Chain A
Amino acid sequence: MRVKSKKSGKQVFSRQLDAFFMDIYAIGQFTGRFFKEAFLPPYEWKEIIRQCYMVGYKSLALVSVTSFVTGIVFTKQSRPSLAEFGATSWLPSLVAIAIIRALAPLVTALIAAGKVGSNIGAELGSMRVTEQIEAMEVSAVNPFRYLVVTRVMATTFMLPLLMLYMALIAMMGAYLNVHQNEQTSLVSFFENAFEQISFLDIFSSTFKSLIFGFTIGIVGCYKGYYTTQGTQGVGKAANSAVVISMFLIFIEEIIIVQVVNWFRI
């Protein structure tokens, strides 16, 4: 009996794994279609701007709070370890390296995957199950170009901006903590902080955010665009948009960090 249940558990796992990799393959095909459609007129500028507003401006509050808290907490937690070696003066540069190289792009991407990715998945999913996408098709409007291309472009363009904003607010949070303890001025804090930051750091983080934004947009759109099973499917689309985006973001993070490290050497 036990052997039997073990076997079926294995089968279930292998089926889920199959489905996951099939999903990744299908997302690859969806991405190919995106590049085919994105550069052909008519361009949906008005809708792209509206989506940029939805992705960027509407995420500002959440990004602000998260980044400010991240800055304060990271600085506070790092202080005792540096203090042991009498190296609290390194705190600004340590915080800057951590925030700009790693935390800002990754945390912004995870916030966006949760907020924007699920929103796109649910929105397009509900449009699919209520036949709004078919309605667009029969009005001779290309729904892929109007719904998918615009959203993917918005997430791709907005994520680097959100990342830079997040880095700034997190640094302000860090400054607050440093100023409270060491009475450092804003100017000397930022001078110290940026001593160890190179152009490559900022460029790689911006590039990473572009890739993360594209991933969030494409996965959210893919899951929403091909939603099935009615309203239950909408929930599933939103959920799997977040899970798959986060998984891909971590993989991309590892790859990009490796590549950037080669350049650094």
Chain B
Amino acid sequence: MKKSSNHIDKDNVVVTIRDLYKSFGENHVLRGVDLDIYQGETLVVLGRSGTGKSVLIKIMAGLLKQDTGMMKVLGQEVDKLSVKELDALRLKIGFSFQHSALYDSMTVGENLAFPLQRHNKTLSAAEVNKAVQQVLEAVGLAKAIHQLPAELSGGQRKRIGIARTLIMQPAIMLYDEPTAGLDPITSMDINNLINKVQEQYHTTSVVITHDLTCAKVVGDRIAILLEGQFAHIGAFETVVENTTDPQVQSFYDYNFID
């Protein structure tokens, strides 16, 4: 089930995080985060709810600004970019939201075509349709094109959310809790889809989760966020299964795995 790690280019760092701090009032969420993410790898950020995992990827996508520290994505410091530069960077980033965030008033096809049509005004309707069909086939939901998001199941919505980001062929995929609220079988389908996307589109992926099965199946490296910092970074077997840290141990014990 687990993919190989030969696709990782360790000489090419796509995301650099240095001494990153972020607080919301008195709640100090990130307290000096340091991390490098390599081209082609899938990094899983594990941590309990409210530890700032989602905040981290929102800073990566420029949805939030850090208080201090550096967040460099594809060689550009995100908080120092102009609106135009940030938009250009965002076109290279795919963000799959926890609740999919599909546009309720649009059909699946329109949801997928929306970003494509806006950024490629020269594309004909036939070309847009072809691209939509391609990504829908990639996520295994070709027949859902005319359905509204409200008519889809949770797992299908996640797939369409991923498809919507894939249509722009991003270099980096950010997944916010991709298996949250899904049954184990649908969760496994989503895990396999994340691996498939990584292989087919050669993306670098950051997966935010507290689902250890997901972490084990998709992660090349696991980064464990404890008290606002990455306490452990490494392979799943090292930092989770054979950990001596009691906090990680208890996290592991409460998850059903294998």
Q: A residues within 8 Å of B by Cβ? A: 126-127, 130-132, 134-135, 137-141
Contact = CB atoms under 8 A, between A and B. Distances in A.
Contacts of A137: 62-63, 90
Interface string B96-123: 0111011110000000001100110000
Contacts of A130: 99, 101, 104
Contact of B95 (A126, A135, A141): A135
Given A134-B63, A135-B95, A140 B119 contact: yes
A238 to B, nearest CB: 16
B101 A140 contact: no
Nearest to A146: B118
B97 A135 contact: yes
Given A127-B104, A134-B101, A139-B164, 13 more contacts: A130-B99, A132-B101, A134-B58, A134-B63, A134-B97, A137-B62, A138-B63, A140-B86, A140-B88, A140-B91, A141-B114, A141-B115, A141-B118
Contacts of B95: 134-135, 138
Contacts of A141: 114-115, 118
A140 B118 CA distance: 9
Contacts, number: 51
Contact of B61 (A126, A132, A138): A138
B90 A139 contact: yes
A134 B59 CA distance: 12
Nearest to A132: B101
Contacts of B61: 138
Contacts of A135: 95, 97, 101-103, 164
B112 to A, nearest CB: 11
A155 B98 CA distance: 33
A35 B168 CA distance: 31
Nearest to A135: B101
B104 to A, nearest CB: 7
B245 interface: no
B151 interface: no
Given A131-B97, A131-B99, A134-B63, A139 B115 contact: yes
Contacts of B63: 134, 137-138
Contacts of A126: 104
Given A131-B97, A131-B99, A139 B168 contact: yes
11 contacts: A127-B104, A131-B99, A131-B101, A132-B103, A134-B97, A138-B63, A138-B90, A140-B87, A140-B88, A140-B91, A140-B119
B93 interface: yes
Nearest to A141: B118
Nearest to B64: A134
Nearest to A134: B63
A140 B90 contact: yes
Nearest to B90: A140
Contacts of A139: 90, 114-115, 118, 164, 168
A127 B100 CA distance: 12
Contacts of B101: 130-132, 134-135
A140 B89 CA distance: 9
